[in-house]
């Protein structure tokens, strides 16, 4: 085992949504040490300019680099859409991003109707537009199916999770507004295109009871496993129990309470300098 293999994996998000990915990474790699950084004090990113997102994401990456990480996971669809390419060009470590699970949705749909719920920034991004076009073209060529795709930006939902409001009146009202058209069109696959939304999956499932929800987090974790394996960076399974540290801008008691609702063991939330 080398010192490099013992270094932690860094994960970042605009807020606590990235914990859904971190949870999947922990399940896939229980022996790896993890450092999670969230920009809660400046969230959400989904309605910000690219320059703002690049600057804030860059701050988180600098912090994680100082933690001597061996790989970086962009546990944020917005950050992946805006920042993945420049970060891969700059960093010498593996950079794993996340994107909405549109291809699995068009492969699996039986009604030919698919919904994607995401941030406005993700839905409007060129990266998402290219992904959606390629997935629809694949469905036409491979399945002979003209899939109807609903791409819905969802202002406000991320903030519900950040407040720890998973079932409140405002949360349920927003979910209903965003999925009503998909439900009426008989969508049978709903892509959770923001890492915050898996924490709302119970409420979303009730709003669209005939649809399967697709969360890309497990696929991100498996991609991280592949990249660490390819680079010889996997930590040896020697009985070490992986640790997890959590940092955020704007860390306070209220945000720590939300973190503890989303991660077992009552973790401490540290202020991100």
Annotated catalytic residue, options 83, 154, 160, 194: 194
Q: Which residues are annotated as a binding site for substrate?
A: 13-14, 77-78, 195-196
CATH of domain 3-98+218-271: 3.40.50.1860
pLDDT one-digit tens code per residue, 125-137:
999 999 999 999 9
- Residue 273: what pLDDT? 85
Task: Look at domain 102-215 and name its CATH class.
Answer: alpha beta
Which strands make up the sheet holding 148-153, listed edge to edge? Answer: 148-153, 113-118, 189-192, 212-214
Which strands make up the sheet holding 95-96, listed edge to edge? Answer: 95-96, 71-74, 9-13, 34-38, 244-248, 269-271
Mean pLDDT of 238-264: 96
Neighbours of 89 (CB within 10 A): 8
Domain residue ranges of the chain, discontinuous segments joined by +: 3-98+218-271, 102-215
Please report which confidence band the pLDDT of residue 22 belongs to, taking 50, 70 and 90 as the band edges.
very high
- Residue 108: what pLDDT? 98
Mean pLDDT of 226-239: 94
pLDDT one-digit tens code per residue, 235-247:
988 889 999 999 9
- Output phi, psi for 45, to 5 deg: -95, -15
Annotated catalytic residue, options 76, 83, 154, 160: 76
Half-sphere exposure of residue 261: CA atoms within 13 angstroms, side-chain side: 16
Contacts of 171 by beta carbon, 8 Å cutoff, 6+ apart: 157, 160, 165, 200, 203
Closest CA to 217 of 242, 192, 239, 200: 192
Closest CA to 8 of 233, 238, 259: 233
Within this chain, domains 3-98+218-271 and 102-215 share the same CATH topology:
yes
β-pair partners for 212: 189
Contacts of 207 by beta carbon, 8 Å cutoff, 6+ apart: 172, 175, 176, 179, 183
83 is catalytic: no
Q: Which residues are annotated as a binding site?
A: 13-14, 77-78, 195-196
Mean pLDDT of 199-223: 98
57 is catalytic: no
């Amino acid at each position: 085992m080398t010192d490099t293999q013992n270094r932690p994996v860094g994960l970042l998000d605009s807020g606590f949504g990235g914990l859904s990915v971190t949870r999947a990474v922990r399940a896939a790699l229980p022996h790896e040490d993890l450092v999670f950084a969230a920009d809660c004090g400046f969230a959400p990113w989904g309605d910000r300019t690219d320059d703002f997102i690049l600057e804030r994401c860059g701050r988180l990456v600098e912090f994680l680099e100082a933690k001597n990480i061996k790989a970086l996971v962009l546990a944020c669809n917005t950050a992946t859409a805006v920042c993945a390419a420049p970060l891969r060009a700059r960093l010498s470590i593996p950079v794993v991003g996340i994107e909405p699970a549109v291809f699995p949705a068009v492969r699996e749909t039986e009604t030919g109707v698919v919904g994607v719920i995401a941030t406005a920034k993700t839905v409007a991004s060129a990266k998402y537009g290219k992904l959606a076009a390629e997935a629809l073209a694949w469905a036409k060529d491979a399945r002979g199916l003209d899939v109807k795709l609903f791409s819905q930006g969802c202002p406000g939902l991320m903030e519900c999770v950040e407040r720890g409001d998973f079932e409140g009146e405002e949360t349920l009202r927003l979910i209903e507004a965003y999925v009503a058209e998909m439900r009426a069109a008989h969508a049978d696959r709903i892509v959770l295109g923001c890492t915050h939304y898996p924490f709302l999956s119970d409420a979303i499932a009730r709003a669209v009871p005939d649809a399967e929800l697709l969360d890309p987090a497990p696929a991100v974790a498996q991609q991280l496993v592949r990249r660490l394996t390819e680079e010889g960076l996997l930590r040896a399974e020697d009985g070490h129990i992986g640790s997890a540290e959590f940092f955020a801008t704007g860390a306070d008691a209220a945000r720590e309470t939300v973190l503890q609702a989303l991660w077992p063991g009552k973790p401490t939330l540290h202020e991100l300098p």
